[in-house]
Chains A and B, each alone.
Chain A
Amino acid sequence: MRSILTLCLSVALSVNAQQTPADIQKEAIAIEGATIHTGTGEVIENGLLIFENGVINYSGKADAKIVRPERVIKANGKHIYPGFIAPTKSLGLVEIDAVRATDDEDEIGEYIPHIRSIIAYNAESQVVESLRQNGILLGQITPQGGTISGSSSVVQFDAWNWEDAAVKTDDGIHLRWPSTLRRGRWWVGEPRGYQPNKNYLKQWSGIIEFLEQAKAYNATPAKTTHLPYAATKGLFDGSQRLYVTADGEREIFDAVTELEKIGVKHIVIVGGYFAEKQLDLLKSKSIPVLVHNPHELPNLDDDAYDFVYGLAARLHKAGLLVGIQNASKANFQVRNLPFYAGHSVGYGISKEEALALISSNTAKILGIDDTYGSLEIGKSATLFISEGDALDMRTNQLSHAFIDGREISLETHQTELWKRYQEKYSRQD
């Protein structure tokens, strides 16, 4: 028995030693018998999902009397989910945090919307590869740091290079709205923590001034090119989103009102720790929030221990369009995205609502919902099959995953090492 296992393992190793990007979908595939979680709140028990040429062309009950394609994956008792989407991360821009040579996430400069993440995206990142195994199949690759950090792009996680990976290039620009509070400079004897930031007004006025000039620049053909201004064009014609990191009551209000005033069409709040204090504003203007993931500590001592656990759930219940991000965490943590959604369930939302926080809602927020984020006819077959509930760590066990209908490898650098050392120990018996 042991030697058979060894044999299987070594075969697996030889097959998956390199995770090569999958070939395009050549034959139609049906998945039958599984519970389909569409991502939009719907659950289809004993479902049937058929996709061809990368597109879903049937989603319904398995008892439907329709012709199955040649390849049918029997998945009774299993679950199908749309591929999860990780927003606001520098995935593929940095491989090992402490090794500077692998770090391409933060360019110098204050207002640098022309800095584009997509060209530095490492499609062969081992960190990215490790996410697929947990069902995260898409990500928004986002430059970090500065005030206007640069432009992100949305990619899918199975590609030969960044061009292949790109799903939506330069989808948005990322802005860190200044804070009314600043961190105490403890090294000069100020207390740690926060105190009022006297330069707040000056700081945000600077941003608005930059964007006003950029808007004016883009209104008429310029004689001399200004790369940073030119890069913001989409903010004013509605083709790009502006992702604004803001947590405080005043910051959210100021950011939304000032940016709207100068004509920014699509604003997304990233963070939103105190978004509950600006619910009316955010609702009336239909501003979505990419909210802190639950696995952060409360910011204030007197906040309830579970303040952040329930934050996404509360904002969702209050009627906002909410997605979960984990911008503050190391990139490898993106693989815990499903569990952030799962943890939110204990705070007043259903599992299907929690699922939307990392699938259909995020797709809507990023503007890729015409193709991704839900399992609906006509949408991309970017999905996976899990042995059980994918939002709970014990049962998040993927057997298959597809991106645009292409069946991708679920092996990783880590599974390879796992198998290699299992083999080592099996030899000792």
Chain B
Amino acid sequence: MKKLLTLALSMAFVLGYAQDYFPAHSEVKTTEQVYRAFTGATIHVDPTTVIENGTLLIYNDEIVSVGKRVQIPSNAVVTDLSGTHIYPSFIEVFSELGVEKPKRQSSAGRSAQYEPTREGFYWNDHIRSETNAIDFFTYNSNKSDDLRKAGFGVVNTHRADGIARGTSLLVALDDKGDASSRILDDRSGSYFSFSKSIQSTQSYPSSLMGAMALLRQLNHDLNWYASGNVNTKDRALEALIAQKNLPHFFEAGANGNTVRALKIGQQFGIKYHVLGSGDEYQYVRELKNFDATVIVPLNFPKAYDVSDPAYADYVSLKDMRHWYQAPSNAKILRDQDIRIAFTTKGLKSANQLKTQVALAMERGLSEADALAALTTIPAEILGKQSEIGALKQGMKANFTVTSGPIFENETTLFEHWVNGHKHLYEDRNTPDLRGEYTLNHNGQEINLNISGSIGKPKVAATRADEKLKVKSNYANYWLSVSLSDSLGQLYRATLKKEGDVLSGRFVDENGDSHPVSMVASATASKSRSKDTETLTSYALQERYPNVGHGYNEQPKAEELLFKNATVWTGTEILENTDVHIKSGKIQKVGKDLKAKSARVIDATGKHLTAGIIDEHTHIAALAINEGGHNSSAEVRMSDVVDPTDLDIYRNLAGGVTSAQLLHGSANPIGGQSAILRLKWGATADEMLFKEAPGFIKFALGENVKQSNWGSNSRFPQTRMGVEQVFTDYFTRGREYLAKKKSKQPYRIDEELETIGEILESKRFISSHSYVQSEINMLMKVAEKFDFRVNTFTHILEGYKVADKMAEHGVGGSTFSDWWAYKYEVKDAIPYNAAIMASQGVTVAINSDDAEMSRRLNQEAAKTVKYGGVSELEAWKMVTLNPAKLLHIDHKVGSIEAGKDADVVLWSGHPLSVYSKAEKTIIEGATYFDIEKDKEIQASIQQERLELTKLMLKVKASGAEVVTPIQNKKERFTCDTL
């Protein structure tokens, strides 16, 4: 028997697929040439074109014609599809179907691996552009069937490994064909991501900003190589050159990474189609500025099981909101006219597609948009819009035949034709039994409710108020039902539907047969649960950013008049003074000011100061250290700003208005800083301090020589080596600049570009530093290269070389009182700030700590205690002095007419432990208000309650819920790797 089957299968194979130039061995040579006409169906030609009662004519694997009136050739097989719908097959663009997964490289040992493991390829192992998925592809019939059953006829599949991932192939899910016809394109796209390859443990890039920098450098190197400037062979770059005209796909992910990928694409003129994570609705303000297609997954988070209040408290409102908002993702993107494609990536099984799309449609996504996201848009981004994704002349005969609208729960998929081959899922001639029937027995009514799918109907039965136990089976168009009641009485029936009548034989408890004949009284109502209605009718308020403490609207600049405050201008402390703010600027400081249109704030008994500026922070970032190289001058903190970090709000509540987001201290040359204005609710780019010049983090001492962790293979391991790293880079930087200026062709090197900016004093160093020897060393290195170090941060032994610092012209940004946490801070003293200031160094007090940064006023006050700094000078150490160190003192740092209105109203003396920030204002807009904070607290509680109720309803409805978790962001300091 088995043999016969095998034979039959191979026969079918040969019969179907003998190529015209292939010899035949098992029988006479035949060639299949068939016209097929499908008539009477509702044909969805494309998302917006529907033909009622239309005809689809195909020849072999190609569509010949589609329309209301189609000339059907006499040699066509005609199939009447009345009552059914025909849809173009869906296209999945982000699949790994059938592509063998690579093996993970086992970690070599305790020390990190810094070198690449391959020869003849790019210098970074995570650039695997030479990979061609076709080389690792085997058609998997089972997995293909899952996708095909969900409506997908064509998938684009790739090897999801590395930052550059090589090419994909486009496969038609045609079980009846072979590779020669199934593989529509063996180089259909080029894939990228921010994630490293598992085939190598090469350390770089160890961070998101490192991955971004690597992609930029890769593109520069690609251009350089393509212009023939390299006389060796790089097979990874060769591969990329060959992929230039392929569509480019980018697995970007969450937290705005789609925007990050698009920015890189924009810089190099590459059109990336970006895969998101489902939170893209939070980034529409940015995404709408790109002409891009966002590929959207449909794995919406499940409701949390909040039935245990003790655990429920740990779920943040941010996560609760995301649970509620995620199904609206597609709709919100479409409302901003952002093109979307759907992917099943992230779904447990492709068969969830329909319910997930239906969820998105319940939130207002139109059917046309949903269809487009699965058909025409994927086809367009693959550049195959003339072949797949619609039902038009000349296109592939890829379509589904369904019992009704494709995303409806009750709709059954009958057939899926791929490459002109039928894949049968449900016999469309199967009588549809669904509906309510009544059976009379012994004067009592038994109600049968038949629901479910056409092929697998579900039967429920009731008699009066009693629910009967039911067993049923539907096969060969015959339905058999056995019922039992609470007394254990058994009833059976065997039924068949002809026309509208369900008839057959009913066998009662005594075994006596009775003929029955029933007509459905109503079709089972469309199941749309009450819970779904509750969910869709709930209106979640907007929040900027989209977290618990977000504002309902982005704060706007106002005209304000502070009356009768004690004003700390930067040079003096003025009692009973007014400050007028307009258009984001300080208009006037003086007595008895008047401004008719201003909102007047009575500041009697209160103090008004400039906003605090933190020279050294690591809040609002998604990553801090790129430790994969001893220099990472090419990485930019501005690439990884996280505007949703709650620490921003907490900083505002401590009077902080600006901060320098610094790279960490994992390497001697760190990354480029982002100087931020803490505009809670703004986008990452809007937070960047536009007028600030470029800065870069350098680092010295224990961290860069990796003293406190077990790595000892990376140069440098001593302070002696650190000097040579700098000397080496500045020397090469100088040579680089010389070559650049000579107008000879040169390879753009993002790292040396940055070093060059330092040498030309266009970018400024803030160097993490502790002991006097290294402080002195860096100044000498800088002097040798004719520039000045701008700032030493931490600078705990600055007091030992304050004279030298003053002479060099470098500022010091230090902790008020930290010490004893590692050997190099053994001699750190809290008098450091006072001594440095006394020698003429510009001194700031910084935090490097998300907690301390929100009370830098107290830290400044410690300089009064330790070393007797005057109160005015102490205050400048957290305002005007850090502004000077960041070269933004022309805009902020003091209260002077003409400067930006970045001010804080304090309940009392700003240096007092008893005072609180009451209002924190940036460019005239109030970003923190202690009264408003109380309202926010109340609204958080209210919204938590409402969403908790919704989640409880979802649980009660029987839907799957998940254990509460407290998502906690990683908090960074300099040392965080």
Instruction: Give per-residue flags for A287-312: 1 if the beta carbon is below 8 A from chain B beta carbons, else 0.
Output: 00000000111101110111000000
Instruction: Give per-residue flags for A10-41: 1 if the beta carbon is below 8 A from chain B beta carbons, else 0.
Output: 00000000000000000000000000000000
Q: Which of A248, A296, A339, A391 contacts B310 (CB 8 A)?
A: A248
In the complex, chain A residues whose CB is within 8 Å of the CB of B746: none
Instruction: Give per-residue flags for A322-358: 1 if the beta carbon is below 8 A from chain B beta carbons, else 0.
Output: 0000000011100110010011011000000000000
B936 CB, nearest partner CB in chain A, Å:
9
CB within 8 Å of A: which B275-327 residues? 310-311, 313-314, 316-318
B79 within 8 Å of A by Cβ? no
Assembly CA distance A98 to B838 (angstroms)? 31
Asked if B650 contacts A425 (CB within 8 A), the reply is no
Asked if A127 contacts B820 (CB within 8 A), the reply is yes
A194 within 8 Å of B by Cβ? yes
CB within 8 Å of A: which B769-805 residues? 799-800, 802-803
Asked if A332 contacts B966 (CB within 8 A), the reply is no
CB within 8 Å of B: which A65-110 residues? 95-99
Q: Which of B820, B854, B964 contacts A330 (CB 8 A)?
A: B820
A263 within 8 Å of B by Cβ? no
Considering the complex, give the chain B residue whose CB is closest to the CB of A308.
B851
Asked if A304 contacts B933 (CB within 8 A), the reply is yes
Considering the complex, give the chain B residue whose CB is closest to the CB of A95.
B820
Assembly CA distance A304 to B936 (angstroms)? 9
In the complex, chain B residues whose CB is within 8 Å of the CB of A298: 650
In the complex, chain A residues whose CB is within 8 Å of the CB of B852: 295
Instruction: Give per-residue flags for A172-209: 1 if the beta carbon is below 8 A from chain B beta carbons, else 0.
Output: 00000000110010000001111110000000000000
Which secondary structure dominates chain B's binding surface? loop
B826 within 8 Å of A by Cβ? yes
Given contacts A98-B702, A301-B646, A335-B817, contact A193 B822 (CB under 8 A): no
Instruction: Give per-residue flags for B880-912: 1 if the beta carbon is below 8 A from chain A beta carbons, else 0.
Output: 000000000000000000000000000100011
Considering the complex, give the chain B residue whose CB is closest to the CB of A190.
B965
Assembly CA distance A376 to B343 (angstroms)? 75
Q: Which of A95, A195, A336 contacts B965 (CB 8 A)?
A: A195
Q: Which of A305, A335, A339, A418 contacts B933 (CB 8 A)?
A: A305
Q: Which of A97, A193, A415 contacts B820 (CB 8 A)?
A: A97
Given contacts A300-B966, A302-B548, A305-B649, contact A414 B829 (CB under 8 A): yes
Given contacts A195-B966, A393-B858, A425-B802, contact A331 B820 (CB under 8 A): yes
In the complex, chain A residues whose CB is within 8 Å of the CB of B831: 414-415, 417-418
Asked if B944 contacts A302 (CB within 8 A), the reply is yes
A94 CB, nearest partner CB in chain B, Å:
9
Assembly CA distance A105 to B398 (angstroms)? 70
Considering the complex, give the chain A residue whose CB is closest to the CB of B859.
A393
B818 within 8 Å of A by Cβ? yes
Assembly CA distance A194 to B312 (angstroms)? 12
A81 CB, nearest partner CB in chain B, Å:
15
Given contacts A339-B913, A343-B913, A425-B839, contact A301 B547 (CB under 8 A): yes
A218 within 8 Å of B by Cβ? no
In the complex, chain A residues whose CB is within 8 Å of the CB of B650: 297-298, 305
A394 within 8 Å of B by Cβ? yes
Q: Which of A98, A302, A396, A418 contacts B822 (CB 8 A)?
A: A98
In the complex, chain A residues whose CB is within 8 Å of the CB of B649: 305
- Chain B interface residue count, CB cutoff 8 Å, equals 69
In the complex, chain B residues whose CB is within 8 Å of the CB of A297: 647, 650, 850-851, 971
In the complex, chain A residues whose CB is within 8 Å of the CB of B478: none
Considering the complex, give the chain A residue whose CB is closest to the CB of B940.
A302
In the complex, chain A residues whose CB is within 8 Å of the CB of B862: 393
In the complex, chain B residues whose CB is within 8 Å of the CB of A301: 316-318, 547-549, 646
Asked if B865 contacts A393 (CB within 8 A), the reply is yes
In the complex, chain A residues whose CB is within 8 Å of the CB of B821: 96-98, 330, 332
Asked if B829 contacts A394 (CB within 8 A), the reply is no
Asked if B822 contacts A195 (CB within 8 A), the reply is no
Asked if A181 contacts B819 (CB within 8 A), the reply is no
Asked if B871 contacts A394 (CB within 8 A), the reply is yes
Assembly CA distance A391 to B821 (angstroms)? 25
Asked if A192 contacts B822 (CB within 8 A), the reply is no
Assembly CA distance A393 to B845 (angstroms)? 15
In the complex, chain A residues whose CB is within 8 Å of the CB of B827: 417
Asked if B965 contacts A194 (CB within 8 A), the reply is yes
In the complex, chain A residues whose CB is within 8 Å of the CB of B965: 184, 191, 193-195
B133 within 8 Å of A by Cβ? no
Asked if B830 contacts A300 (CB within 8 A), the reply is no
Given contacts A330-B821, A343-B913, contact A193 B968 (CB under 8 A): yes
Assembly CA distance A395 to B707 (angstroms)? 39
B864 within 8 Å of A by Cβ? yes
Given contacts A393-B862, A428-B803, contact A417 B708 (CB under 8 A): no
B969 within 8 Å of A by Cβ? yes
Given contacts A181-B966, A305-B649, contact A391 B702 (CB under 8 A): no
Given contacts A98-B702, A98-B823, contact A295 B865 (CB under 8 A): no
B83 within 8 Å of A by Cβ? no
Asked if B864 contacts A393 (CB within 8 A), the reply is yes
A126 within 8 Å of B by Cβ? yes
B350 CB, nearest partner CB in chain A, Å:
23
Instruction: Give per-residue flags for A388-429: 1 if the beta carbon is below 8 A from chain B beta carbons, else 0.
Output: 000111111100000000000000001101100110010010
A414 CB, nearest partner CB in chain B, Å:
4
Assembly CA distance A98 to B823 (angstroms)? 7
B383 within 8 Å of A by Cβ? no
B867 within 8 Å of A by Cβ? yes
A250 within 8 Å of B by Cβ? yes
Instruction: Give per-residue flags for B908-921: 1 if the beta carbon is below 8 A from chain A beta carbons, else 0.
Output: 00011111100000
Considering the complex, give the chain A residue whose CB is closest to the CB of B871.
A394
Asked if B311 contacts A196 (CB within 8 A), the reply is yes
B653 within 8 Å of A by Cβ? yes
B180 within 8 Å of A by Cβ? no
Given contacts A194-B968, A295-B851, A305-B653, contact A332 B819 (CB under 8 A): yes
B967 within 8 Å of A by Cβ? yes
A249 within 8 Å of B by Cβ? yes
Assembly CA distance A306 to B314 (angstroms)? 18
Asked if A422 contacts B835 (CB within 8 A), the reply is yes
Considering the complex, give the chain B residue whose CB is closest to the CB of A94.
B820
B855 within 8 Å of A by Cβ? yes
A238 CB, nearest partner CB in chain B, Å:
32
Considering the complex, give the chain B residue whose CB is closest to the CB of A304.
B937
Assembly CA distance A24 to B547 (angstroms)? 60
Given contacts A301-B318, A393-B864, A414-B831, contact A346 B914 (CB under 8 A): yes
Instruction: Give per-residue flags for B505-535: 1 if the beta carbon is below 8 A from chain A beta carbons, else 0.
Output: 0000000000000000000000000000000
Assembly CA distance A97 to B831 (angstroms)? 22
Given contacts A392-B913, A394-B912, A425-B802, contact A192 B823 (CB under 8 A): no
Assembly CA distance A391 to B818 (angstroms)? 19
Assembly CA distance A393 to B822 (angstroms)? 25
Which of B800, B821, B822, B838 has the most chain A CB within a 10 Å cutoff?
B821
B970 within 8 Å of A by Cβ? yes
25 contacts between A and B (CB under 8 A): A96-B822, A96-B823, A97-B820, A97-B821, A97-B822, A98-B702, A126-B820, A180-B310, A191-B968, A193-B966, A194-B314, A194-B966, A196-B311, A300-B313, A301-B317, A302-B548, A330-B820, A330-B821, A332-B820, A392-B913, A393-B862, A394-B861, A417-B827, A425-B802, A425-B838
Instruction: Name the 4 nearest CB pairs between A and B, nearest first.
Output: A193-B968, A98-B822, A342-B913, A418-B831
Given contacts A96-B820, A295-B851, 17 further A-B contacts (CB under 8 A): A96-B826, A191-B968, A192-B967, A192-B969, A194-B314, A297-B650, A297-B850, A297-B851, A297-B971, A298-B650, A300-B313, A300-B966, A305-B650, A343-B913, A345-B914, A395-B865, A418-B799
Interface residues of B (CB under 8 A from A): 310-311, 313-314, 316-318, 547-549, 646-647, 649-650, 653, 702, 707-708, 799-800, 802-803, 817-823, 826-827, 829-831, 835, 838-839, 850-852, 854-855, 858, 861-862, 864-865, 867, 871, 907, 911-916, 933, 937, 940, 944, 963-971
